[in-house]
Chain A
Amino acid sequence: MSECPANLKANPLLSRWFRLDERPLMGVRSGKVELGQGATTALAMIAATELGLELDQIDILAADTAHGPDEGYTAGSFSVEHGGSAMRWAAAQLRELAAQAAATVLGTTADQLVVEAGQFRRLGHNEGVTYWQLRDRINLGVSVLDLPAPVLRGGTIDDGHTRRPDLVGKLSGAGFIQDMTWPDLLHGRVLRPDHPQDRLLSCDDAAAKALAGVVAVVRDGHFAGVVAQSDEIALAAIALLRRSAQWQRQAELPLDDGLNGWMDQASPLSTCFLDEAQPDKDLPIRHAARYSRPFIAHASIGPACAVAQWHDGQLQVWSHSQGIYPLRRQLARTFGLEAEHVQVTHAHGAGCYGHNGADDVALDAALLARAVKAPVMCLWTRADELSWSPFGAAMRMELSAGLDESGQIVAWNHAVWSPTHLARPGFGDGVNLLAAGDLAQPHARPPLADAPRPQGGGDRNAVPLYDVGARKITHHLLPQGPLRSSALRALGAHGNVFAIESFMDELAALAGRDPLEFRLAHLSEPRGRAVVEAVAKAAQWNQDDPGGEGHGRGLGFARYKNLGAYCAVVVEVEVAETVRLVKVTAAVDAGEVIHRDGLMNQIEGGIIQAASWTLKEAAGWTQDGFKTRSWADYPILTFSEIPAIEIELVAPEGAASLGGGECAAGPVAAAIGNAIAHALGVRVRDMPLTPERITQAIHA
């Protein structure tokens, strides 16, 4: 790395990144936040390595709009790739500044110094001077843009057993935003309808106000909420409001046929972004197939939560948002404030896999807190969480291809229909916080858009990495569907890779070729080949395994976003009344590894979550509204359903870090589908791959 990383250029003051305390700790503040994925540990390890500190000398400070850098969203597996390179450069810069100060104190030059456990000393000498002793001599107010590029040490010090500092506290007591407490903290809840198209017309505020312990009933347009002395009282007051609530239905929902039939009626914004000249000869093999996935819930185990407080017209918010700066700007816009008058401080929430209700509840809390003179904690209910949190978007993929005489693919066509996968607050002109549209002076949502290419949203990973001849790829962006959608881990990659990799198996079968051999024959990208070959070896791929009788194995491969980590997966299944995952073997190339155990944990979790989506999950609706309101309506994978998991990390020497948290989603989905097809001889193309659908396919 020879150029200052973009995230640091945008936040060049070292004081945004570091705080040198009196106690012997180095405060480190990134704009990337902890979502339960271990990002802050990886970033602290990078800082420790460059600064010459032990990990336990680092104090990981909360991301904060008043003090820390603006690094946008923590998303897209970029924490280490972008946040890490900025942190590395900033830390190296601080080390060099400190080394110069140390050299002055020790009467030598910086190049004669080593730094270990925070102490600079001359080679061969025992006495030295620490960062903390140099406190008054280091100017953190300096801009890195005014300094020469530092020498980066590179890598991290990791024996493979580095433990996450944040987990120690969480696993013995408090540690989450829901655990924050002040003596004067009040509790807020909001009233949300059971139907996505309902708006509140009226409710009996007086009854709720009369309840002992209710401090305020807040009404603003179609928004209603309560503030109370305790959370139980707030819930009881909401129940009273709900009993008297009159709703106005703005539209009826289309029928949910489980197969995205509603998409037929929607008019898309279509872009054919890759259109190569098709071969004008007759091809001996042509094949087409359609695949789908439903809306999928984030389904975080902890409810969305925020704390808000107003002082003199200025707003302070604690949030588990993925983007504290974008949230700040959106809150400021909603309330007509200058951004400087809103402070957002990050606090840890339960596992976050994308744009969930974290930002929406922050606005809820701010609206409620405005009515009182104390901090208010607002929590969502489980029902809110499974219905009003944005969903991962439903998708339909139609693929067709042609093979020549030699059995090679020479023409490939992929079309994907999907509502947006990216409606995060701050994207586009408007306010994308749930309650903002309900206020007496409503704020409009931004115009319809999806994540731009090359990363893409609905079209993420729609372009195959294989050599497939003439490609035609079309993205049909649908207006908002029956359910509100936004970013869920991997975005469109889950559906597109499921489709591409299922289709590859179908084509291989038509050409009478082995799925592994067929893929390698179309894959010249060396790092892609390397993971496919590695997983085949690790899983002892047997070309002659005929499958059948309920036993099968399948392969799936992709490079996440065609820009990120490479992942190949082999899944072994046994199918009887249900699909039992026997074993998942994965090979991942995520480039340079910063925190090995953390990366492994992310990949394991990604595999299990993707298996859950693929086999079990679908959010639906009826004419009465949301169908998923409790865990009973939304089953996820359980402990006895977990396969054996084996992961191999491979990467070429010197390759830069690529985030690993999302790369397995598509390959796992496809490998499961392919394994079921191998086991039964029939294919299910619509997720979730439930026993009912498998039975249907067998009898079709």
Chain B
Amino acid sequence: MGAQGQHLTVNGTEITLSVDGDTPLLSVLRDRMDLKGSRIGCTEGYCGACTVLVEGKPVQSCNTPVWSVAGKAVTTIEAADRHPVLGEVQKVFVALQAAQCGYCTNGIMMTLAGLLSQSPRPDRAHILAHLDERHLCRCGVHARVLKAIDQLLAHSEGGLA
């Protein structure tokens, strides 16, 4: 597939980019749109550092070709101030200092924002299974992430977003 116009909506803004449709969404976000909050980790679908929301669902952007998100709504960490659940997740992570280097953290926050926005809201076990499958952290911040999840689940009992 050669370079052609790709229409995307990223954090509420519609744009058209002249880029090969097979280009990973992660590269488009980072290199074409200067949205660096989605991290370049393994680029092989294992670590989750690149996770964004597509139509509200967590997706690893490193192995998502940009053509596949044409016309869909993409949300990145940069939209935390406009996305109530993501904003809440970010607030809790900062409050708990649930990061060391923070390289894995934005991806994890995106996944949590996606899962916690679903209805019915998934339970803790489901969330952990999802994290096990798609996210890695090398600094060992897992215990704080679990604390953040518990706090977010408790909040949302009381009606998060």
Contacts and interface: CB of A to CB of B under 8 A. Distances in A.
Contacts of B146: 639, 642
B40 interface: yes
Interface in B81-104: 90, 93-95, 97, 99-104
Contacts, number: 162
Say what secondary structure dominates the interface of chain B: loop
Say what secondary structure dominates the interface of chain A: loop
B142 A642 contact: yes
Given A301-B138, A382-B42, A172 B102 contact: no
A608 B23 CA distance: 36
A609 B27 CA distance: 30
Interface in A258-313: 299-303
A36 B100 contact: yes
A608 B141 CA distance: 8
A608 B105 contact: no
Nearest to A181: B34
Nearest to B37: A173
Which interface residue of B95, B135, B136 has the most chain A CB atoms within 10 A?
B136
Contact of A639 (B23, B35, B44, B145): B145
Contact of A638 (B43, B49, B95, B132): B132
Contacts of A172: 37, 77-78, 80, 90
Contacts of A604: 140-141, 143-144
Interface size class of A (residues with CB under 8 A): 35 or more
Contacts of A379: 40
B29 to A, nearest CB: 11
B136 A631 contact: yes
B7 interface: no
B101 A351 contact: yes
Contacts of A166: 102
B141 A605 contact: yes
B2 to A, nearest CB: 11
Interface in B1-56: 23-24, 27, 30-31, 34-37, 39-44, 46-47, 49
Interface string B42-75: 1110110100000000000000000000000000
Given A36-B101, A38-B100, A631-B44, A301 B136 contact: yes
A350 interface: yes
Which interface residue of B24, B39, B94 has the most chain A CB atoms within 10 A?
B39
Given A382-B42, A640-B132, A609 B101 contact: no
Interface string A340-363: 000000001111110000000000
Interface residues of B, number: 51
A642 B143 contact: yes
B99 A302 contact: no
A352 B138 CA distance: 9
B153 interface: no
B47 A631 contact: yes
A611 to B, nearest CB: 8
Contacts of B80: 172
B78 A167 contact: no
Given A38-B100, A604-B143, A612-B140, A173 B36 contact: yes
A608 B143 contact: yes
A42 B67 CA distance: 46
Contacts of B135: 639
Nearest to A180: B36
A137 interface: no
Interface in A540-588: none
Interface in A601-619: 601-602, 604-609, 612
Contacts of A640: 128-129, 131-132
22 contacts: A36-B103, A163-B95, A170-B105, A173-B35, A174-B37, A179-B30, A181-B36, A231-B27, A300-B103, A301-B47, A301-B49, A301-B101, A301-B136, A301-B138, A301-B139, A351-B139, A597-B97, A601-B100, A608-B143, A631-B46, A638-B131, A639-B128
Interface of A: 35-38, 163-164, 166-168, 170-176, 178-179, 181, 230-232, 299-303, 348-353, 379, 381-382, 597-598, 601-602, 604-609, 612, 630-632, 636-640, 642, 645
Interface of B: 23-24, 27, 30-31, 34-37, 39-44, 46-47, 49, 77-78, 80, 90, 93-95, 97, 99-106, 109, 128-129, 131-132, 135-146
Given A171-B106, A178-B40, A302-B101, 7 more contacts: A170-B106, A176-B103, A300-B138, A348-B101, A351-B101, A601-B97, A639-B132
